[in-house]
A and B are shown apart, each in its own frame.
Chain A
Amino acid sequence: MHIVVCMKQVPDSAQIRVHPVTNTIMRQGVPTIINPYDLFALEEALHLRDRLGGEVTVLTMGPPMAEESLRKALTFGADRAVLLTDRAFAGSDTLATSFALAAALNKIGQEFGEPPIVFTGKQTIDGDTAQVGPGIAKRLGLNQLTYVARIADLDPAAGTITVERRAEGGLQVLQTRLPVLITMLEGVNEIRRGSLDDAYRAARAQVVRWSAADAGITELARCGLKGSPTIVKKVFAPQGRAEKVRQVPTADRSADELAVDVIAAIFRTQPPLEDDLLRFAAGQ
């Protein structure tokens, strides 16, 4: 079975700094990583391949340097990597991104075999939109399974799949027909340590590199900024609060004394809270 995993290279957002004067992102020197949510999708794909045979192709759209993430995915054991890169994609919002990725997935199907399963992570850590997976599914007519916690049953011969999907207040057990697009929930597996063989293979591997035209995209007006219905009007830093924090004095106070002071300060700030708490305590 051929499985495709869509990934994104993202800045390690914990380390992003904002320039204090210009309020712009300081990208220089910010390390990039594979979007952590995508690793759950990749591991699930590798696990299925190990069990059922076949190949795992990883696909990403991004600047040439995104090849680094693809190579990393190869070290985990992916069989093939495709980088979709073209300046025509610059400024893509989620609708334009799903358009380009859907085209690349079609091309992958023609070149390397139709994938019955396409995986993505549940969202990225830089955009956090969770929109690209559903966008791809809709464009390619794949049955959409988001927030999948577990693949309970997969029968490639019969063309059916049963999954447990995270919903409000519980898990939905859904059965549908292949082909599907699955977005994996976080924390449901752990990415493997790649083998030494995989590391050697990844170092030598040729990453497939496609431009928009290579991916069969003729309508450039649907790509990048032009193909994006949303526009960013302005970017700004969150404002500080006008009101200053009131510090509870700590000098010469033991932890127990300080605790009493803090509680008194809390109730002075918000008197009804004391009644709420007393009611709660009375109900205990």
Chain B
Amino acid sequence: MSDAPSNAPKPPAAGRAGTKRELPERFKAYRHVWVVVECEHGVVHPVSLELLGEGRKLADKRGVDLAGVVLAGDSLTAAQTAAAAFEHGADLVYTVTAPILAHYRNETYTRAMTDLVNAHQPEILLLGATNLGRDLAGSVATTLQTGLTADCTELAIDDEGSLAATRPTFGGSLLCTILTLNYRPQMATVRPRVMAMPAREPGRWGRIIEHPLDFAEEDVVTKVLRFIADRESDKAQLAYADIVVAGGLGLRSAENFQLVRALAEVLGGDYGGSRPLVQKGWITADRQIGQTGKTIRPKLYIAAGISGAIQHRVGVEGADTIVAINTDPNAPIFDFAHLGVVADAIELLPALTRAFQAHLSVNRLAG
């Protein structure tokens, strides 16, 4: 038998021992806040800019620099991405430019990132929780043997200068604040739209530090054979839509979901639904709004027949105006909606579609 059982009962004291701050000597030189600025196919991902806004606050609180990290296939892409980073708050940008970084691959990006971290030693490293960011963050954290907190909804610096990363847990029923005390860098990912987009400061500029990559295509095992771009119509722009209409089980049937789409169309918005609708197959997974689906921050969010479980709430509470339609006056959605209507969504949705249509055409003629 193993010797494990003798170690097994963990008195609370053992847990506390692990929570003591004793940053090893080798990590004491780690300084500054870094944000990985994601650029694929010539487009900087908005989540990276949102993170720069958040990283700026953390860097100011710590009294350190905010750096963007740009991994690019060519120098034009690197320069454009660096410019975007400066305009959104970065003091300096580290670039690694090499043709083998033109398309994301775990192998090459992990190598470039870990080299950069080991050379320049940041205390905090933030990435967007995109497919790229999550694929990369897990590998980098494991290689560096440091802590990584996924899908944070709030980032702060605690009284002793550590990154306090808050994230929903247990499907969003509770929030927990996680620290990485004795390892560096402290890593975290944040999903798109969770943080506000900082204002762009045109012409803002900073220092660029180029870092070499000692890695050739012959040494890379994984090859990108091609990229099959989504058809424009397939791309759900839900996360970045200004107006979103969504439905829940209160719609009672898949057919009634059409009412949600009709209203969204009149408003020039996008549509989505709560998690149970995905499970029932009424909508596809990329239309799911909530903790395990998309986070949205529209100007107007209309939730029809959605009860508003916490896991849904965390995905929508960044909306400027939340309108909730539900037959149950005690539904939790009325705890965080701005406007409430105790009514049957199946009747109110088509009425809203008609009324908006009328309002918009009358006022257009008047104007």
Interface residues of A (CB under 8 A from B): 11, 13-14, 16-18, 23, 25, 86-88, 90-91, 93-95, 98, 125-135, 137-139, 143-144, 146-147, 162, 164, 166-177, 186-187, 211-214, 220, 224-226, 228-238, 240-241, 243, 245-248, 250, 255-256, 258-260, 262-263, 265-266, 269-270, 273-274, 276-278, 280-282, 284
A211 to B8, CA, bound (A): 11
A173-B224 contact, Cβ under 8 Å, with A95-B142, A276-B242:
yes
- 6 A-B pairs within 8 Å (CB atoms) are namely A88-B7, A130-B138, A167-B131, A231-B19, A255-B347, A259-B352
User: Residue A25 contacts which of B105, B170, B268, B352 (CB distance < 8 angstroms)?
Assistant: B170
- The answer, yes or no, to whether B117 is at the interface (CB within 8 Å) is no
Is the beta-carbon distance between A246 and B338 smaller than 8 angstroms?
A: yes
A169-B229 contact, Cβ under 8 Å, with A16-B173, A126-B171, A129-B150:
yes
Is the beta-carbon distance between A230 and B359 smaller than 8 angstroms?
A: no
User: Residue A214 contacts which of B2, B43, B351 (CB distance < 8 angstroms)?
Assistant: B2
Residues of B within 8 A of A174 (CB): 105, 222-225
- The answer, yes or no, to whether B336 is at the interface (CB within 8 Å) is yes
B157 to chain A, nearest CB (A): 13
Q: Mark B118-151, 1 if CB is under 8 A from A, else 0.
A: 0000000000001110110111011101111111
A59 to B181, CA, bound (A): 31
Is the beta-carbon distance between A213 and B3 smaller than 8 angstroms?
A: yes
A191 to chain B, nearest CB (A): 14
A143-B222 contact, Cβ under 8 Å, with A247-B340, A250-B341, A255-B343:
yes
A134 to B348, CA, bound (A): 47
- The answer, yes or no, to whether B285 is at the interface (CB within 8 Å) is yes
Is the beta-carbon distance between B147 and A93 smaller than 8 angstroms?
A: yes
Q: Mark B355-367, 1 if CB is under 8 A from A, else 0.
A: 1100111011001
User: Residue A277 contacts which of B4, B106, B147, B268 (CB distance < 8 angstroms)?
Assistant: B268
User: Residue B176 contacts which of A16, A125, A234 (CB distance < 8 angstroms)?
Assistant: A234
Number of interface residues of B (CB under 8 A): 112
Is the beta-carbon distance between B174 and A23 smaller than 8 angstroms?
A: yes
Is the beta-carbon distance between A172 and B103 smaller than 8 angstroms?
A: yes
Residues of A within 8 A of B130 (CB): 168
- The answer, yes or no, to whether B190 is at the interface (CB within 8 Å) is no
Residues of B within 8 A of A134 (CB): 106, 134-135, 137-139, 142
Residues of B within 8 A of A256 (CB): 351, 354-355
Residues of A within 8 A of B226 (CB): 173
A130 to chain B, nearest CB (A): 5
> Which of B55-63, B92-100, B317-325 forms part of the interface with chain A?
B317-325
Is the beta-carbon distance between B284 and A170 smaller than 8 angstroms?
A: no
A21 to B180, CA, bound (A): 29
B276 to chain A, nearest CB (A): 8
A223 to chain B, nearest CB (A): 9
Which of B45, B106, B146 gathers the greatest number of chain A CB atoms within 10 Å? B106
- The answer, yes or no, to whether B178 is at the interface (CB within 8 Å) is yes
- The answer, yes or no, to whether B291 is at the interface (CB within 8 Å) is yes
- The answer, yes or no, to whether B292 is at the interface (CB within 8 Å) is yes
A211 to B3, CA, bound (A): 9
Is the beta-carbon distance between B41 and A169 smaller than 8 angstroms?
A: yes
A130 to B129, CA, bound (A): 10
- The answer, yes or no, to whether B300 is at the interface (CB within 8 Å) is yes
A87 to chain B, nearest CB (A): 3
Which of A23, A25, A131, A260 gathers the greatest number of chain B CB atoms within 10 Å? A131
Query: CB-nearest residue of chain A relative to B225?
Result: A173
- The answer, yes or no, to whether B182 is at the interface (CB within 8 Å) is yes
Is the beta-carbon distance between B183 and A13 smaller than 8 angstroms?
A: no
B251 to chain A, nearest CB (A): 15
Is the beta-carbon distance between B174 and A262 smaller than 8 angstroms?
A: no
Query: CB-nearest residue of chain B relative to A18?
Result: B173
Is the beta-carbon distance between A129 and B340 smaller than 8 angstroms?
A: no
Query: CB-nearest residue of chain B relative to A168?
Result: B40
Query: CB-nearest residue of chain A relative to B170?
Result: A16
Is the beta-carbon distance between B107 and A248 smaller than 8 angstroms?
A: no
Is the beta-carbon distance between A233 and B178 smaller than 8 angstroms?
A: yes
Residues of B within 8 A of A94 (CB): 138, 141, 148
A234 to B182, CA, bound (A): 18
Residues of B within 8 A of A14 (CB): 171, 275-276, 309
Is the beta-carbon distance between B18 and A281 smaller than 8 angstroms?
A: no
A220 to B242, CA, bound (A): 51
Is the beta-carbon distance between B10 and A90 smaller than 8 angstroms?
A: yes
A172 to B310, CA, bound (A): 34
A143 to B149, CA, bound (A): 23
A168 to B105, CA, bound (A): 13
Which of A228, A266, A269, A281 gathers the greatest number of chain B CB atoms within 10 Å? A281
Is the beta-carbon distance between A212 and B341 smaller than 8 angstroms?
A: no
Residues of A within 8 A of B180 (CB): 229-231
- The answer, yes or no, to whether B104 is at the interface (CB within 8 Å) is yes
Query: CB-nearest residue of chain A relative to B20?
Result: A231
Residues of B within 8 A of A273 (CB): 299-300, 321
B162 to chain A, nearest CB (A): 9
A62 to B10, CA, bound (A): 16
A162-B355 contact, Cβ under 8 Å, with A134-B142, A246-B340:
no
